[in-house]
A and B are shown apart, each in its own frame.
Chain A
Amino acid sequence: MTHVRIKMLIAGLVLIASVSYLAVAGVKSGWVYYLHVDDFVQDSTYQDRRVRLFGLVDTENVEVAPAMLTAKFDLQGESNSIPIHYQGVVPDTFKPGGEVMVEGKLDDAGIFQADTLMTKCASKYQSEEHAKRLEEAQ
């Protein structure tokens, strides 16, 4: 019986060690800071690495060329904004004034080169429209 116990203990330890290793490696490779555009502009520590930024699409200077698979716009925070060059399929839900999330890195020219663009909604289950209506009903 103890023999089996020892074997199981060793197997358990090996499993825990390998999973911890996997977890650390996984976190390392998946590690992306998630910042608001204001925090990113103000704090230079994040400017030389790959980050995920969120903010609003400025209503002016939005250039979308779906056939060229590019979108150029300014990502706006409360006090700062940053120019974004995005390369890829522009999501259907992308619109000026909307809340978006981009992932990429700042280049030397001060332009944020993004390869991921996601439109963000507060909750999948609650449409803004419905929230407005509910207020109206109060």
Chain B
Amino acid sequence: MNGLIGNLSLAVAVLTAAGALFTAVAAAKFQDDRMLRWSRRLLYLMGLAITVGSAALMSAMVNSDFHNAYVASYTERALPMGYKIAAFWAGQEGSLMLWTLLLVGMTAIAAHGFRNRERIEQSAMLGVLALVCGFFSALMLFAANPFVQLPAQAVDGHGLNPLLQDPYMIAHPPLLFVGYAGYTIPWAMLLAALIAGRKDNQWIGATRKWLMVSWLFLTVGIILGAKWAYIELGWGGYWAWDPVENASLLPWLTGTALLHSVMVQQHRGMFKIWNASLIAVTFLLCIFGTYLTRSGVVQSVHSFGESVIGTFFLVFLAVCVLLSIVVVVIRRQLLKSEDTVQGMMTREGAFMVLNVLLVLMTLATLVGTIFPLISGAVMPQPVTVGAAFYNKVVIPLSLVLLAVMSVGPLLSYGKGAGQQLIKSLIVPGIAAAISVVVALALGMTDLWALACTVITVVAVCSVGVGLTRSVRQRRKIEDEGPLTATLRVIDANHRRYGGQFVHMGVVMLMVGVAGSSLFGVKQTFQLAPGESAGFNDEYTITFGGLNQTRQSNYTSVEAHVTLTTLGETGDTGGTGGAGQTLHPEMRFYDKSEQPSAQVALNSSLSRDAYVTLAGWEDDGQLVALQVIVNPLIAWIWIGGIVMTLGAIFSLLPRLVKATARAGCPATAAKDQPHAHAPATVSLGLAGEGRCESQIQTTTTTQYAEAPK
């Protein structure tokens, strides 16, 4: 029954998508608004069909309907309910179903939001969305069908891969897919705006929300994935530059560039062709990354084009690339810049630099990922470039990027920004110099670590200096206490301060990455029960013994390991101190041939102790333990949370309504010394959005966030 409903709904989805595409084109050709309405209705219907199909698959998963081949392959009766649900996206077919479900949901929202646009723009948008949704539905119907029925019902399922039986499995894939699916909408909006011949910059403001939301979900997805890899895979790291990981990083890098460069187009009418290309590239990278990781081209170099789904993706990718290029080239007149960059030390200059850096990082990551393919084509044997390549290329680029980011809050648009910057850098510069001296005095001589220290100090101080300046300006005209004024200033410009919050998160992430990769230590121990060993002059490790427990679908062998910090107990060897007991496990799942190791962690803000049970002999008379100490690694996760909160904050509407125009700090800016240079819009004083429009000198610029 589920199979029938599922297949039927996929067929309906393909037909309605084709119908929506057809009516959208017809609406444009015959200038018929009825066709337009039909196109939209068909898209809604397609959304409904995919929802019904997903519900059918979910019902089969939850009710262990082993007639369904997908359910039989990825679940089992004894699987806890949460994982039965998560198994929906454990395999190829189901994960495509989830992606499609999210895509049709966003398509419906976008189509609804576009219902009052001009006919031609609307029809182009609906057509593009119908094309993408139709592709995914057809892909499932013909090449990766989650509703294939077995000739006879299986007695029990094969079970979920032990690596995937983790709470992160529930959240990580859907979050990533929201990001991937989300980048489709800006692409459709771009093509629609260009096809409709829109000359204004308002449409780019409308894409920003989608770009921001997609970026937010992609960020959370990637960081959760890193955390998952950290606690699950047992090698003590969180990022391996694996092709699957790179596939998610590529659109994230271009998406990050977009969030910045889109603002410049909104405010100054610049970077238009760049933004258009970047929106297209970000979407295409989502598809390309999926193609890379799903077709098996990268992992096994010899099976190029072997998988059917790979061919589907490749053809679709080619169509999308062609469509993007044709539209952008034909409409290149619309993408001419209205202004020029006034210098490197301006806001637009910094945005340009950071865009170039991010694109270079994207290129490096892309080249590294497909290096086996490139080298295999020109040499007798393919060559891979490992983590060393990425670390040599991407890491230095990202440090330069972070340095630019750290002075970001002090930069303003247009002429005169350079002198402003130098003046504002006095405090952060002095603080950075002091921190370097202190770091050197404490014996930190690693150049990378010193660079990270300087970036951290400058970034934090710059935010402080920028905010203080705005608050001081506000208090000159408003009778408010320092705290109220600060909160009001922040509330008046969510986008700006949300962005700075995100930047603080990025700095924390950098600290975590630098700390763990520069100062992490790893050692393996072979211990008998009761035996102790010292580690890195900081810890004593004592092995207490093994014991076995039985859980619902696996048997666990657990080691008792006590970890004592030497500092806590004096230097006597740490026998008397209250140590932390850790229980690294080895799990034997009933439905899996291989055991699965579970890491035990002792985490604090300053360092993580990470213990894995690598194996044992003679019933536990000798065990092998791998112990890793990762300094500062917790800051990666904290940074991730801060980035998330910052992004959410920037999307929230203003909490307290502005009471009067006089309260707007930008108005005050007119009376300030900067007023004599009208081209300068000091962002320390004026926010973006409604206030700034009063002193904006570029007449052609239009605002997406217009005053109500």
Q: Write the residues of chain A forming the contact surface with B, with a CB cutoff of 8 angstroms.
A: 1, 4, 7-8, 11-12, 15, 19, 22-23, 25-27, 29-35, 39, 46, 52, 65-69, 89-90, 92-95, 120-127, 129-130, 133-134, 136-137
**Contact among A19, A127, A136 with B161 in the assembled complex (CB-CB below 8 Å):** A127
Cβ B385 vs Cβ A26 within 8 A: yes
Binds A, one of B386-394, B564-572, B670-678: B386-394
**Contact among B73, B299, B303 with A130 in the assembled complex (CB-CB below 8 Å):** B73
> What chain B residues lie within 8 Å of A90 (beta carbons)?
614-615
A125 to B92, CA, bound (A): 5
- Closest 9 A/B residue pairs (Cβ): A66-B615, A30-B389, A26-B392, A30-B385, A130-B73, A30-B388, A26-B389, A26-B393, A125-B92
Cβ B624 vs Cβ A30 within 8 A: no
Q: Write the residues of chain B forming the contact surface with A, with a CB cutoff of 8 angstroms.
A: 69-70, 72-74, 91-92, 95, 148-151, 158, 161-162, 234-235, 244, 293-296, 299-301, 303, 307, 340-344, 349, 353, 356, 360, 364, 367-368, 371-372, 381-393, 396-397, 524, 526, 593-597, 612, 614-617, 622-624, 626
Cβ A95 vs Cβ B526 within 8 A: no
Cβ B622 vs Cβ A67 within 8 A: yes
A-B contact pairs, 20 of them (CB 8 A): A1-B340, A8-B341, A11-B353, A23-B364, A26-B364, A26-B390, A30-B368, A32-B385, A34-B381, A34-B383, A67-B623, A123-B293, A123-B294, A125-B91, A127-B91, A130-B70, A133-B148, A133-B150, A136-B69, A137-B151
> What chain A residues lie within 8 Å of B367 (beta carbons)?
23
A29-B392, A92-B594 as given contacts; A66 in contact with B150, CB under 8 Å: no
**Contact among B234, B593, B624 with A68 in the assembled complex (CB-CB below 8 Å):** B624
A135 to B235, CA, bound (A): 36
> What chain A residues lie within 8 Å of B372 (beta carbons)?
34
Cβ B360 vs Cβ A19 within 8 A: yes
Of the listed residues A46, A69, A92, A136, the one surrounded by the most CB atoms of chain B closer than 10 A to its CB is A92
Give, as a whole number of angstroms, the nearest-CB distance from B503 to chain A. 22
A137 to B303, CA, bound (A): 24
> What chain A residues lie within 8 Å of B162 (beta carbons)?
92
A67 to B625, CA, bound (A): 8
Cβ B392 vs Cβ A93 within 8 A: no
> What chain B residues lie within 8 Å of A94 (beta carbons)?
594
> What chain B residues lie within 8 Å of A133 (beta carbons)?
69, 72-73, 148, 150
Cβ B383 vs Cβ A33 within 8 A: yes
Cβ A89 vs Cβ B234 within 8 A: yes
A94 to B595, CA, bound (A): 10
**Contact among B340, B389, B397 with A19 in the assembled complex (CB-CB below 8 Å):** B397
A108 to B509, CA, bound (A): 45
A92 to B396, CA, bound (A): 34
Cβ B150 vs Cβ A136 within 8 A: yes
| Number of A-B pairs, beta carbon distance below 8 Å | 165
**Contact among A23, A92, A122, A137 with B150 in the assembled complex (CB-CB below 8 Å):** A137
Give, as a whole number of angstroms, the nearest-CB distance from B586 to chain A. 8
Give, as a whole number of angstroms, the nearest-CB distance from B309 to chain A. 9
Give, as a whole number of angstroms, the nearest-CB distance from A102 to chain B. 13
Cβ B524 vs Cβ A22 within 8 A: no
A29-B392, A66-B624, A133-B69 as given contacts; A4 in contact with B342, CB under 8 Å: yes
Cβ B397 vs Cβ A4 within 8 A: no
Cβ B386 vs Cβ A95 within 8 A: no
A12 to B359, CA, bound (A): 13
The residue in chain B whose Cβ has the minimal distance to the Cβ of A126 is B92
A34-B301, A123-B92 as given contacts; A29 in contact with B388, CB under 8 Å: yes
A41 to B74, CA, bound (A): 39
**Contact among B149, B397, B595, B614 with A69 in the assembled complex (CB-CB below 8 Å):** B614
A23 to B244, CA, bound (A): 21
A127 to B596, CA, bound (A): 17
The residue in chain A whose Cβ has the minimal distance to the Cβ of B149 is A137
Cβ A25 vs Cβ B397 within 8 A: no
> What chain B residues lie within 8 Å of A126 (beta carbons)?
91-92
> What chain B residues lie within 8 Å of A7 (beta carbons)?
343-344
A34-B372, A69-B624 as given contacts; A92 in contact with B73, CB under 8 Å: no
A125 to B388, CA, bound (A): 27
> What chain A residues lie within 8 Å of B391 (beta carbons)?
26
A127-B161, A137-B151 as given contacts; A67 in contact with B382, CB under 8 Å: no
A35 to B320, CA, bound (A): 34
> What chain A residues lie within 8 Å of B301 (beta carbons)?
34
> What chain B residues lie within 8 Å of A32 (beta carbons)?
383-386
> What chain A residues lie within 8 Å of B92 (beta carbons)?
123, 125-126, 130
A33-B383, A68-B526, A127-B91 as given contacts; A22 in contact with B393, CB under 8 Å: yes
A66 to B613, CA, bound (A): 9
Of the listed residues A22, A89, A124, A125, the one surrounded by the most CB atoms of chain B closer than 10 A to its CB is A125
A67 to B543, CA, bound (A): 13
A11 to B404, CA, bound (A): 14
A46 to B383, CA, bound (A): 12
A127-B73, A137-B148 given; name 18 further pairs at CB < 8 Å: A4-B341, A4-B344, A15-B356, A19-B393, A23-B393, A30-B385, A33-B381, A33-B382, A34-B372, A35-B381, A69-B624, A120-B300, A122-B299, A123-B307, A130-B69, A130-B158, A137-B149, A137-B151
